Amino acid sequence: MLKKLASLVLALALVPVAAFSASAASAPAAIKVEYNKKAIVFPDQKPVIRDSRTLVPIRPIAESLGFDVDWNEKTRTVTINKGTNNVRLVVTQKIAKKNGQTINLDVPAQIINQRTMVPVRFIAEALTYQVNWDQKTQTVLIADEQSTQPNPSTDKPATSTGQKQPDANTASLIDRSSLFAKTFTIATIGLYRVSGTVEPGSDVTVTLEDKTFEVEVKSDGTFEFNKDTYDGIRNYTLKAEKDGKVDTFEGEFVSN
């Protein structure tokens, strides 16, 4: 009888250990992200999976992939610029805009532990990176697009300089670093100003809400747009065209 009692006590004592071991063994592996085979470090908030999509903190991704990111606390909007590409996401909204075109998202940007989390596949592909998923290691693999392309010298004829002919429609006409947009309010009237530099000889327009205005460009490519209309406009669209090339930028006004 004592032997049976001792065996029962021992069995009960082992149950929590076994349950803990089984739980630990089944715990999901941490999601990792690599760029060109180099691990991206997330110092505080780690990547998570929501609705079968991987969300990552935007800042470490931006620093590793080399694009510019801005955060508007008032509108809860993430704005990303890389080359001629402009991407905008609003937290909790299942839509995004790439170069002014609306795109539906499977999962929206979210705030988790005071960090802005974005769907990594959408962001990477929108900025023309290659994205793959390694199920075995639970790793998102991001690579420069050209690194996965065949050698152009074996596929297409080279120019006389031995380099691939550039795409005539990919050049940037807008100097994004020069742009400045400000709004003033007088009574119920909004005063809007957008200035900056574009490729000299470009045709430039500024769109406020649903109205588009032509902008005079000086010989050196500088321009300044001023317009008074109703108050409350927060965003603008700048468009430059030259020799069949088109460059578009969506920006936000800074309130005085």
Closest listed residue to residue 230, CA positions, set 180, 186, 195, 194: 186
| Position 42 in a domain | yes
Q: How confident is the model at residue 24 (pLDDT cuts 50, 70, 90)?
A: very low
The predicted structure's pLDDT at residue 235: 86
For residues 123 and 62, membership in a common domain is answered with: yes
Average pLDDT over residues 115-139: 89
pLDDT at 159 over 60: no
Cβ(43)–Cβ(113) under 8 Å?
no
| Position 76 in a domain | yes
For residues 37 and 140, membership in a common domain is answered with: yes
CATH of the domain at 237: 2.60.40.2440
Closest listed residue to residue 68, CA positions, set 92, 84, 53, 55: 84
The predicted structure's pLDDT at residue 222: 94
| Position 16 in a domain | no
Q: How confident is the model at residue 28 (pLDDT cuts 50, 70, 90)?
A: low
CATH of the domain at 142: 3.30.457.10
| Position 15 in a domain | no
The predicted structure's pLDDT at residue 154: 37
For residues 141 and 51, membership in a common domain is answered with: yes
For residues 100 and 206, membership in a common domain is answered with: no
Print the domain residue range for 105.
32-146
The predicted structure's pLDDT at residue 3: 56
Q: How confident is the model at residue 155 (pLDDT cuts 50, 70, 90)?
A: very low
For residues 237 and 178, membership in a common domain is answered with: yes
User: What does the mean pLDDT of the chain come to?
Assistant: 79
Top pLDDT among 178 and 171 is at: 178
Burial of 190 (0-12, 13-18, 19+ CB in 10 A): buried
Q: How confident is the model at residue 150 (pLDDT cuts 50, 70, 90)?
A: very low
**Cα 119 to Cα 124, 139, 167, distances in angstroms:** 9, 14, 29
For residues 76 and 123, membership in a common domain is answered with: yes
Average pLDDT over residues 170-186: 82
The predicted structure's pLDDT at residue 204: 94
N-to-C CA span, the chain: 87
For residues 181 and 83, membership in a common domain is answered with: no
Q: What's the total number of domains in the chain?
A: 2
The predicted structure's pLDDT at residue 5: 52
Query: Which residue, of 146, 162, 197, is where some domain finishes?
Result: 146
